[in-house]
Amino acid sequence: MTQSELISDTAGAIAALAIRLQGCLLTAGEQGAKAAYEALVCSLHGDTCLTALTDDEPTVAAWLKDLNPDCSTRILSVPQGSLMDSKAWMRDAFLTATLDGKKTYLRPTISKGGGEEADWLAAADGTPVVDMPYIALDGGDCIVGPGYRLIGARAVDNTSKIVRYGFNQRLAMAELTRLDSRQLFQVGYRLKDVRNKALWFIERFQLDHLSLSADVGEHWLEVLQGSDPCAAAAAIVEMDQNKLYQDWAHIDLVVASTGRKRDEKDLLLVASVILSANPTMSEIIQADCLDALAIYLRDECGFAIIRTVSPYIPMPGGPLWYNNVLVQSEPPIVWLPAFGSDPRYRQFDASNQAIWEMLGFEVRPVSGWLAFAPDSGSIRCATNVTERRGHTRT
């Protein structure tokens, strides 16, 4: 296959994007979800075209008519029940790229559903769909910057499990590299950069001892049943300190591309957890892992880093997803999820807004997304940008 060029996550103005919207999310029992989508749709500018894939066209049509947003809208009706595999997430289903000079939807192997969203859009707009069965890559694990690409460590691991690669991560990485000419970086954290290694090991062993046993060897299984910090410390010595771990469903929950540079380095935003007065072990470990992620991206990959701030939320166990944003550069606008419907989080809304404003962006806070936080996602997960205006490669 001719090398593709993936659509940027920052360049140009967002001209078209798609969402998937079950009619049930607009009912009285889903007021939180409904408010989130209303805020998102009403925040889009007038020269953007929004496509809504839905299994309940009458309900969505009436809802959009009542909203009367500035953006233009299009409804694509899909088979009843075909959106049940995921509550709202659109980003993972496909990647938009230019291939042989034509806009194309690329469909790798993904973790949710079968990627039918690409077929539904293609039937309406004529865009060709290219299947990529030898790549396992959710859209949430793919971030495209001005001259670089970020992919989650889990995407490399999952691609290596495809039969032709025989668990060889080097071969998997080579296949993922061929997808686009930009320099490719894996995103994860290394154990050597984790501050509280024994706590990290004990919790990971309790949650998923089978996968961890592959890293430390079967002979540690019985020794570690008692969660002994000394035994954990001894086991850690035998582990590969440079192996990359990814604790988040997708990297776009905790990392955002700004399209900016600082000190001649590409600038990323990386989440941090502000510990509560009496933090739990899980909270401490999550803060450590995010710190280790920032260290890796700074020291190993050469990015400039600004840390965004967030509280820890027990479900699903991580920061609020402030970095799950939509960004454009012409003009510079960021659509930032806002969680201030809970007064405890308003200070974090303000702090994250200030970071983007400092970088020269107009910030459009999109409220209501606290309703989706337990489902590990926010506005980037819920959308898929299919066209950018004024997009030029640098």
The residues pairing with 313 across neighbouring beta strands, listed in sequence order, are: 318
- Residue 394 is predicted with a pLDDT of 38
pLDDT digits (tens, 9 = 90+) for 102-117: 999 999 988 777 789 9
Residues written for the chain: 394
Residue 270 phi, psi dihedral angles, 5° rounding: -125, 135
Residues with Cβ within 8 Å of 62's Cβ and at least 6 positions away in sequence, in order, are none
| pLDDT at 163 (0 to 100) | 75
Residue 148 structure tokens: 């670089």
- The separation between the first and the last C-alpha atoms of the chain, rounded to the nearest angstrom, is 23
Distance CA 65, CA 41 (A): 12
Rounded CA separation 309/239 (Å): 31
- Residue 351: pLDDT over 90: yes
pTM of the model: 0.91
CB-based contact 257:145 (threshold 8 Å): yes
Rounded to an integer, the average pLDDT of 294-320 is 95
Please give the structure tokens belonging to residue 81: 């029940």
CATH numbers and ranges of domains, the chain: 5-188+246-389 (3.75.10.10), 190-239 (no CATH)
**Residue-level pLDDT at 315:** 85
Range with lowest mean pLDDT among 189-193, 211-215, 341-345: 211-215
Output phi, psi for 308, to 5 deg.
-85, 160
Distance CA 306, CA 267 (A): 7
- Cis check: omega of the bond before 146, within 30 degrees of 0: no
DSSP assignment of 260-278 = EEETTEEEEEEEEE---SS
User: How is 6-25 classified by DSSP, letter by letter?
Assistant: EPPSSSSEEEEEEEE--GGG
Spatial contact of 165 and 121, defined as CB atoms under 8 Å apart: no
Which residue's entry shows tokens 């694990």?
141
Average pLDDT over residues 379-390: 94
Angle between helix 197-216 and 229-237 (nearest 10): 50
Ramachandran class of 3: left when φ > 0, alpha when ψ lies in -120 to 50, beta otherwise? beta
- pLDDT, mean over the chain: 89
Q: Which of 9-13, 53-57, 220-224 has the lowest mean pLDDT?
A: 220-224
Tokens of 381: 């997960």
What is the DSSP track for 190-259?
Answer: EGGG-S-HHHHHHHHHHHHHHHHHHHH-GGGTTGGGG--HHHHHHHHHTS-TT-EE--SS-GGGTEEEEE
The predicted pLDDT at position 2 comes to 65
| Cα 85-86-88 angle, rounded to 5 deg | 150
